[in-house]
Structure 1
Amino acid sequence: MSGFLAVLVVVLIFIVIFQIAKASEYVSILKGEKKAREQSNRINGFLLIAFLVLGLIGVYWCNDLLKGKILGESASEQGEGVDTLIYVTLAITGVVFVITQIALFWFAFKYQEKEGRKAFYFPHNNKLEVIWTVIPAIALTILVAFGLKHWFQLTSEAPKDAAVVEVTGKQFNWIFRYPGKDGALGRRDIKNIDPSAGNELGLDWNDPLNKDDFMPTELHLVVGKPVKFIIGSRDVIHDVGLPHFRMKMDAVPGIPTTLWFTPKFTTKQMKEKTGNPDFTFEISCDQMCGSGHYSMRGVIVVETQEEYDKWVASQKSTYSLTHADTAAPAAPAGEAKADSTQKAVAANIQ
């Protein structure tokens, strides 16, 4: 209901503005062009001031309404620094925005056309040029420097105890691969890619390290433990988007990229924090990658070490799933029937 009323108010405002404009046209016909233009300028000046006041109130209201409610607190330790950088950037640009907008609309009102007033042309001033070029350049350089600091941290070498997960994008879903007990991922070769045989990543079965790697349908991470993502793509450019962790990295065909972070909260804790029993961390594609781009959304589960170990123990290796038919070949039908007959005869003799 409140949304309908807001739309109705906006429509009425536009109708009033339209009627004022039409009235100005009629006045110009009756009073003459010069007087009509002066009156039109006065009306426009007051409208600009009204727009300024209402606009600033709207900006404040939107900020107060939505602050911290879209994504909430960063769910990773590294994301805290990213949030701080965003707030500093918004503070600097916000002050500039407010000052320039007030000056823009106030000047349009104060220096409108009036009888006896002449326009003063100010074509060039070296001092002003230097001021509004150097100050923004220094501010932006500082912001870029802090941004690079966080970027180098996220893409630097992960801690030695960090978990390793391979994340591969393809049209139109994500493929996750975990190392098994050996703690190392096996070798891959694009020539071995065969989705019909369950080998979507082209794993080289001659590499022993591949024998215990497993590929779940969702990501599981341990709270408080660093995790390193090895990111790639099987076809076009994708983008690993982790909004709750404030992370983002391109998935480029043939060029592995990496990032690492440390989750702060479990999924259960986030459900309590947000008051949303259906809350889930997500991994999304932040790069337009084709007609099915919208469907590239994966689920991330952050849990305790005990819960994670239990989940890992329930996983089957990709090798065992794709080679199940060669693990224990079935006996020919004739032999199986003869063997069952011999067992039955032996049981009767006993």
Structure 2
Amino acid sequence: MIYIIAILAILFVVLTFKVISQTRKIINKNKVQPGTDSEYLGAPDASNNFNAIALMAFWVLAVIGIVFSYIHYSQFFLPEAASEHGKRTDFWFWVSMSIITVAFFLVNTFLFLFSYLYRHNPKRRATFSTHNNTLEIIWTSVPAVVMTGLVLSGLVVWNDITSEAPEDAEVIEITGRQFAWMVRYPGADGQFGKSNYKLIDDGSGNPIGVDYTDANSFDDFFNSTELHIPKGKPVLLKIKARDVLHSVFIPHMRVKMDAVPGMPTKFWFVADKSTAEMKAMLNDSEFDYEIACTEICGKSHFGMRMVLKVDEPAEYEKWKAAQKPMITLNPDLLNKVPENLKAKAMKFIEVDPAAAAAPADSSAVETK
């Protein structure tokens, strides 16, 4: 590697001197002696005409290609946003796109047009202007004002969705790991139990390090296949990562936020279309919202996907009521509960009815 760098450095120095040498030759060749008229040393007029016409033809073909690609691929655009802030995001996106598109076509049209109109003509002499303060102020201030407006409009939306969520928001915790999402709900008490990365233990069924010395954790329940949220109610996603960088992306909700190890992030939004409504709108019975990871996190990054279900409020509450706490599904977690809280934790442990009905002393025998 050192030899390659040395060879490249030498080559760079040689080429640099070559460029300087050729530049000096061109300057000397094109010098005009005082008192003499300058002579045009460029390409013949036929070549200038050809280049000018070719540039205009290129621009016309480019415009046709751009318009065609936009119309053709618009079928792959995301459908209408399914969240309240998503509609604002889309509005300002298209405002920005409109301004940028107009500026793009306007600037490039004049660029190619001037190349054609002002190609070399021996009967025309160019005028030279050192500067124009008025023009400088206009073409500096106008883009600055427009860009500032676009940035501030996006900042307002961003500040809204990353600000403190409403008090009645449904709070859900989502944690990224290689290569899956883990979702935790706070249970009936509405409060999450504490968690600590030092307590992570996949073998014992504690993949996000829930602290079972905290009684608030007893009714917390998990889901690693689907994320359910209610329609029409603010949802606050508390986002974490337990290994490397991930990114929560819900395209239909226009939600995207990085999941950073050791630095919790958040995002709140209001879904205004249930899964059933979106299926009907798209006429697609197989449709499901999805959560994808948009931060390359390893070799199986492509498969890091979770289904998102947007339920009607009543359906959502019914679904929540049917979920079982993790400590119920994995009674071995009771070993992590301190003695003074085990009685409270036992309320979430399901007892086998057959075992409960068995005699206390199985060695007892009937006597006559």
Q: 1:1-350 residue pairs with structure 2 within 5 A?
A: 37-67=44-74, 69-122=76-129, 124-217=131-224, 218-324=226-332, 339=362, 342=365
Shift of the 292–276 alpha-carbon distance from structure 1 to 2, 3 Å rule, reads same
Per-residue CA shift, 1:75-109, capped at 9, x if unaligned? Answer: 00111111111011111111111100111111122
Matched residue type, 1:95: V
**CA distance 1:282–1:37, shift in 2 (3 Å):** farther
Q: Offset of 1:171 from its aligned partner?
A: 1.8
TM-score, normalised by the number of residues in structure 1: 0.80
Shift of 1:65: 3.6
1:107-131 deviation line (CA, Å, top 9, x unaligned): 1222223344445555543332222
Q: Is the 8 A contact 1:216 1:315 kept in 2?
A: no
How far residue 321 of structure 1 moved from its aligned partner, in angstroms, is 2.2
Q: CA deviation at 1:341?
A: 8.6
Deviations 1:131-172 (A, max 9, x none): 222111111111111111111110111122211100111222
Secondary structure of the corresponding residue to residue 136 of structure 1: helix
The CA RMSD over aligned residues, in Å, is 2.8
What SS does the corresponding residue of 1:176 show, helix, strand or coil?
A: strand
Q: Name the residue aligned to 2:338.
A: none
Q: Within 2, Cα distance between the matches of 1:114 and 1:50?
A: 20
Gap change, CA 1:169 and 1:37, over 3 Å in 2? farther
Deviations along 1:153-199, whole A, 9 cap, x unmatched? 10111122211100111222211111100011110011111111111
Aligned residues: 308
Distance in 2 between the 1:92 and 1:243 partners?
24
The alpha carbon displacement at 1:311 in A equals: 2.0
CA contact (8 A) 2:248 2:293 kept: yes
In 2, distance between residues paired with 1:232 and 1:148? 24
Could you say if the C-alpha distance between residues 51 and 340 of structure 1 is closer, same or farther in structure 2, counting changes exceeding 3 Å?
farther
Q: Which residue of 1 aligns with 2:27?
A: none
- After superposing the two structures, state which structure 1 stretch, 60-69 or 82-91, moved more: 60-69
- Does the 8 A contact of 1:205 with 1:319 survive in 2? no
- Percent identity for Structure 1 against Structure 2: 41
* 1:324-347 deviations in Å (ceiling 9; x for gaps): 586569x9xxx99x83895xx69x
TM-score (structure 2 length as normaliser): 0.76
Helix, strand or coil for the counterpart of 1:101?
A: helix
Secondary structure (helix, strand or coil) at the match of 1:339 reads coil
Partner of 2:344: none
Q: CA deviation at 1:230?
A: 0.6
Q: Distance in 2 between matches of 1:73 and 1:39?
A: 53
Cα drift, residue 74 of structure 1: 0.6
- Comparing 169-178 and 52-61, the one that deviates more: 52-61
In structure 1, C-alpha distance between the alignment counterparts of 2:329 and 2:45, rounded to whole Å: 82
Closer/same/farther in 2, CA of residues 313 and 256 from structure 1, 3 Å limit: same
Unaligned runs of 5+ in 1: 1-33
Structure 2 unaligned segments of length 5 or more: list them: 1-40, 335-348
Kindly state the Cα deviation for residue 223 of structure 1 after the two structures are TM-superposed.
Answer: 1.0
In the TM superposition, what is the alpha-carbon distance from 1:67 to its structure 2 partner?
4.0
Q: Quick one: distance in 1 between partners of 2:82 and 2:324? A: 29
**Shift in alpha-carbon separation, 1:197–1:227, aligned structure 2, 3 A:** same
From the superposition, tell whether residues 63 and 221 of structure 1 become closer, same or farther in structure 2 (CA, over 3 Å). same
